[in-house]
Chain A
């Protein structure tokens, strides 16, 4: 079974520029999550999708971050404009439906450096 795919793996941009990350979850997983992991911290949820609908985006800085999952499969997370404090690893995760949904499967992440 293929895992969660993310691209790019690394991205370096200057502050005020825009950047987008892509995620393809495990086939059949209806729920998709984006987490931000700042160095030395645990991952923090940014947004959760159930199919193509947003379940929770309460911790997403909506003035600069946006995310979509138009067809209920792939998802993109965008930052526009980026700030220095956005430097972090952005992790995408997915989970299957049913009782096992407490287990989330993570992709390798995209490491963003904002200069």
Chain B
């Protein structure tokens, strides 16, 4: 059973507009959430993260929002650029010492973002 879900396999956005990528999780014990970006034939690259004690984290054009009561997080990209076209993975971490390794990133299936010029 998937603990981290990205229900939209793909998203298409016009250049300059906002891209919103969504992620839902089922386990309330997750204490850290990360977004990774992946280009074809490359490994995932860390983009932005958020601790479970926060509800927002911003880094330039990228903002992640966390709604713990809804077990939902989202990544906002404003403005979107053609170079943002990639697969975006949402991932979650358990706290240290909880049921296994603290480094075990639990990934969603990814959302493919296409930004059209």
Q: Which residues of A contact B (CB under 8 A)?
A: 4, 31, 33, 35, 40-45, 48, 55-56, 58, 91, 93, 95, 101-109
- A106's partner among B41, B45, B102 (CB-CB below 8 A) is B45
Complex Cα gap A93–B42 (Å): 12
Contact A44:B107 (CB < 8 A) given known A56-B101, A91-B43, A108-B41: yes
Residue B49, interface by CB 8 Å: yes
Interface string of B65-95 (1 = CB under 8 A from A): 0000000000000000000000001010100
- Cβ–Cβ contact A55 & B43, under 8 A: no
- Cβ–Cβ contact A91 & B42, under 8 A: no
- Cβ–Cβ contact A48 & B46, under 8 A: no
- Cβ–Cβ contact A55 & B109, under 8 A: no
Q: Chain B interface secondary structure, helix, strand, loop or mixed?
A: loop
Band of interface residues on B = 20 to 34
Residues of chain B contacted by A45 (CB below 8 angstroms): 101, 103-105
Residues of chain B contacted by A104 (CB below 8 angstroms): 46, 103, 105
12 A/B residue pairs, CB under 8 Å, sorted by A: A4-B43, A40-B109, A42-B91, A42-B107, A42-B108, A45-B105, A48-B104, A91-B44, A103-B34, A103-B49, A106-B44, A108-B42
Which 5 A/B pairs are nearest by Cβ-Cβ distance?
A42-B107, A106-B43, A56-B101, A45-B104, A55-B101
- Cβ–Cβ contact B110 & A42, under 8 A: yes
Residue B117, interface by CB 8 Å: no
Contact A102:B93 (CB < 8 A) given known A43-B107, A93-B43, A108-B41: yes
